[in-house]
Amino acid sequence: MAEAAIELIGIDKSFGAVRANRDINLDIERGTIRGIVGENGAGKSTLMSILYGFYQADSGDIRVNGMPAVIRAPNDAIALGIGMVHQHFMLVENFTVLENVILGAETEALLKTSIARARSELERLEREYGLEVDPDAIIEELPVGLQQRVEILKALYRGAEILILDEPTGVLTPPEADHLFRILRQLKEQGKTIVLITHKLREIMAITDTVSVMRQGTIVATRETAKTTVEELAELMVGRRVLLRVDKGAANPGAVKLSLRNLTIRDSRGVTMVDDVSFDVRGGEIVGIAGVAGNGQSELIEAIAGIRPAVSGTVMLDGRPIHVTSICDPGELRDRGLAHVPEDRHHVGLVLAFEQSENCILGYHDQKQYLKGPFLDGDAIIADARTKSRLYDIRPSNPRLRTANFSGGNQQKIVLAREMEQDPGVLVVGQPTRGVDVGAIEFIHRRLIDMRDRGKAVLLISVELDEIRSLSDRILVMFGGRVVGERGPDASEGELGLLMAGVEPRDAAA
């Protein structure tokens, strides 16, 4: 047994009546990759936030490299060689990479001297760990995969020997995730200790040495990764057997509910992001759009939902036009039976400062069931949130809790409950299970299939190719802003992967 880099002994933490961590004991060996998995709200992020100094435990002890440690703030953790890469990056978007790396870690009286020293150190770290990124690039202009590298560089620049990553692949494409795993293996080879919090069990199996399972605030099992299975981990997480495949019958498509013809969209720079796209979605089917992020999928669903104007083309909802080339009112589209689950729940789907009950009716707050005369009916809104919490297993079940205080997966459930419970005729859903645990994924998939079977039209966008293949009745593949192919759900991952790269499978075989 290698020496422990981290020991957590009897850790307890409560937030009011909610006990997030219960008498947790955890040892993590130096120079290994430890996975920590559990359902949304199981206490994983709280536990790691205690280790990093964001929270203080109500009771219990922490040892780092065998020595007692008092961690009252992130600076204490950093001084002990602990770094953390958060699920939602902690970067100043209009700063450069270099400025973000040295922010708060300036070592010289003159900033110019600190920047010169930091540039040299950054170049060394990039070479040593394969973390290449332009030090002078502005953060907001970088794709999320490179932004994540900056977070890792920040931690390494501060001397981290223990690196905590919270849902690191939640915003990454499959190729970006693969590159991250190569980086993590290299860090491990250099003697770093890595703690990986994730919902994605296949990633746990691919990258970790050991895995600890949390349920309802406590650790229920620790396994050597090589001696366990995805099925066992899922059952330990949820406390019951979990169906890891989508169980669905054949589709029964009806009339066209959503129709696009020659849709073209440009971004703020004038770059064409969606180029002459046409397709239909019928009631009673799920049409999935596959593609590497950045190939026009996001702009496409924003135009359909009335958020982004198109340059040209038409969109018809139940045979009536949506005025996509001019200012379009998303509220009008909701009234016409189109619901939208956005890809980015934080910036588009929720107001994090609002209570759960308020977010549960956001956009639908003028409906009569939420009103008492001209005013909002507080009791009805609270009752509605309780019902949605029960139906969608939103934890904790507290309608008055600020939405920012829910885990990412439970925030996603709030958005899904709000949109799906309106019983729309057309559901446009982006990344439905991003940051969601295996039990909740099973539930969300069942709800989407149920909507299809009740004659609803579902347009699904996801970077998870397994999800697209499992749920879709037809799969459209986008590359370079165009639909480059249509396949059935039995299409192989390799065939879809080639299309996603802009290569026709027959061309690759030639």
Domains assigned to the chain: 4-238 (3.40.50.300), 256-349+423-509 (3.40.50.300)
CA distance 307 to 324: 9
Q: What is the mean pLDDT of the chain?
A: 89
Residue pair 436/407 in contact (Cβ under 8 Å)? The answer is: no
87 burial (CB, 10 Å; 0-12 / 13-18 / 19+) is middle
Per mean pLDDT, which range of 51-55, 143-147, 230-234 is the poorest? 143-147
Percentage above 70 pLDDT, the chain: 95
Beta strands in 356-455 (DSSP E): 371-372, 375-376, 426-430
pLDDT at 87: 72
> In what helix (H) or strand (E) does residue 261 lie, and over which residues does it extend?
strand 256-266
Neighbours of 491 (CB within 10 A): 19
Beta strands in 267-366 (DSSP E): 272-282, 285-290, 312-317, 320-322, 338-341
Name, of 248-252, 315-319, 441-445, the range with top average pLDDT.
315-319
Name, of 171-175, 198-202, 356-360, the range with top average pLDDT.
356-360
pLDDT at 246: 77
Per mean pLDDT, which range of 129-138, 267-276, 366-375 is the poorest? 129-138
Q: What is the identity of the amino acid at 219? A: I
Neighbours of 99 (CB within 10 A): 18
Tens digit of each residue's pLDDT (9 = 90 or more) over 9-67? 999 999 888 889 999 999 999 999 999 998 877 889 899 999 999 999 999 999 999 99
Q: Phi, psi (5° rounding) for residue 493?
A: -60, -40
